[in-house]
Structures are given as structure tokens and as C-alpha cells.
Amino acid sequence: MNDIADMTIWRFALSYLLLLAVLAVMKKCRIDRTRLLVVASARMTVQLVIAGLALTYIFRHPHPLFTILYLLAMTAFAIHRVLSRCPGVNRRFKIAIALSLAAAGLGTVFFFVGAAVGASPLNPRYMIPLSGMIMGNAMTGVTLGMKSFHESVEAGREKIAALLDLGVEPDRILLPFANSALETAILPTLNSMLGMGIVALPGMMTGQILSGTLPTTAILYQISILIAISAVVCLATFSSLHFGYKTLYNNRKQITGM
């Protein structure tokens, strides 16, 4: 179980040849995203190399302060990424998103590491990788939910205006949009859970098996982390939308927009 294949830098470089297949398909289909693919690949590489170097140092010199700073930086970046995809959202809505993402993400992380894993919440070897998976999925879920909510509201402006003219409360008008966006956000996670173990072996489980962990132990970790991911996506998106949409109307029950 401990016979781990060592990936040399040259073998690692060969993986980039697979991008040529992506470029070929994009060119054939006339998808003008070559620059985006190159930039995304380069940025991913640089960011992961920096993260790898930082984690190597932190693991060799474990200190609670390093773990806390890493978590704060991760949370701040996740919030920044979500808000950058919602440029038209008002300030109070943005605050609701930021607080929801931070509270749901960090709360789930600390509970999962402390209770489910049984490790110290300040142990970087557990806290940082697991929080990365949880916060990353929360960020994706909230982004997807906000995108769906914004598009639905924009498409339903005439319907919203008509309902307001009939005297319907703004809360009753906007709540269905928020609920529909929440469903859109959590469906990818639920569909992913349905296919786990049959269609594909998830990343965390695969990584543990490759590192020599028994498959039975890897399965327990994977099931637990998927439950945590589904919880954080639901909680973060629900809070963002249900606290956020209330900022779209004033005390006179007038919808003022995003």
C-alpha cells in the first residue's frame, strides 16, 4: 500500500500535452477561448505551486497562527471571488453574502475537523486541505445561486412589476426566486453524490488511496466530506439569498433593484 509512484517534473510536464487536445477541439468548434484556457492553466499552476510551497513550510513549522492566517486568507479570497461575479448587487446584499459565506464556511469547517475527524481545529495538516474543499464548494455554490437569482429577477421584471401593482408583498414575490436559485445551487452537489462510487471515484478518496491509505478509511473520509460539502453549499447559499433579497425592497414595500 505504500508503493507510491513518484511523479518527476518531466512526467508532470507531459500532462500539459492534454491541453493540446482541448485547444484542437476549441479550434474546430470555433470557440474563441484560447487565451482564457492558457491564462487559466498558467494561473492555476502558479497558484498551486505557491500554495504547495506555503503548505510545505506550514507543515514543517506548525503553528496555530499560520493556520488561522491561511484560513482568513482563504475566506477573504472566496468572498472576493463571489462578489466579483455580482457587480450589480447593492452594498447590503454584498454584506449578507460575505457574512453568510464566512459563517457557514468556517462553521462547517470547524465542526467537521473537530467533531467528525476528531483532530485539533488548528492542526494545519487537517484544517487547511479540508477547509479548502469546503470553502471552495461553498464559493461555487453561492456564485451559482446568485447568478441564477439575478438572471431570474431580470427575466421576470415585468411579472414582478405586475404583482407589485396588484398589491402583492415584495417578500412573497422575491422568495420563490430565492428558493429556485437555491435549488439550482445545490443540485450539482446532489447529482455528484448520486454518481459517487459508480460513475467515478472522487478526488479526495483517489488522493488518499494513491498516498497509501486503505480504501475503507478513504471511503469514510470521502462520505463525510461530501456530506459537509452539501451542508455548507446549502447553508451558505440559503443565507446569502434569504438575507440578501430582503435588501431589495424598502420600508414602503418598493423593490429598489439589485
Task: From 61, 81, 110, give the residue that closes a domain.
Answer: 61
Cα–chain center distance at 135: 5
Q: Where are the beta strands (DSSP E) in the chain?
A: none
- Classify residue 219: in a domain, yes or no: yes
Instruction: Report the interhelical angle of 64-84 vs 34-60 (nearest 10°).
Output: 160
For the chain, what is the mean pLDDT?
Answer: 87
In this prediction the pTM is: 0.83
Task: From 61, 78, 96, give the residue that closes a domain.
Answer: 61
pLDDT-derived band at 1 (thresholds 50, 70, 90) equals very low
Same domain, 42 and 138: no
Same domain, 125 and 145: yes
Cell of 191: 447529482
Same domain, 139 and 183: yes
Same domain, 225 and 240: yes
Cell of 160: 414582478
Domain count, the chain: 2
Task: From 20, 35, 61, give the residue that closes a domain.
Answer: 61
- Classify residue 239: in a domain, yes or no: yes
**Percent composition of the chain: helix, strand, coil (DSSP 3-state, to 5):** 80, 0, 20
Q: What is the pLDDT of residue 4?
A: 57
Q: State pLDDT tens for residues 94-135.
A: 999 999 999 999 999 999 999 988 888 889 988 998 999 999
Same domain, 240 and 227: yes
- Classify residue 256: in a domain, yes or no: no
Same domain, 183 and 95: yes
Q: What is the pLDDT of residue 175?
A: 93
- Classify residue 19: in a domain, yes or no: yes
- Classify residue 253: in a domain, yes or no: no
- Classify residue 79: in a domain, yes or no: yes
Cβ-based neighbour number of residue 164 at 10 Å = 16
The strand pairing partners of 185, in sequence order, are none
Q: Which domain holds residue 18?
A: 1-61
Mean pLDDT for the stretch of residues 5-14:
78
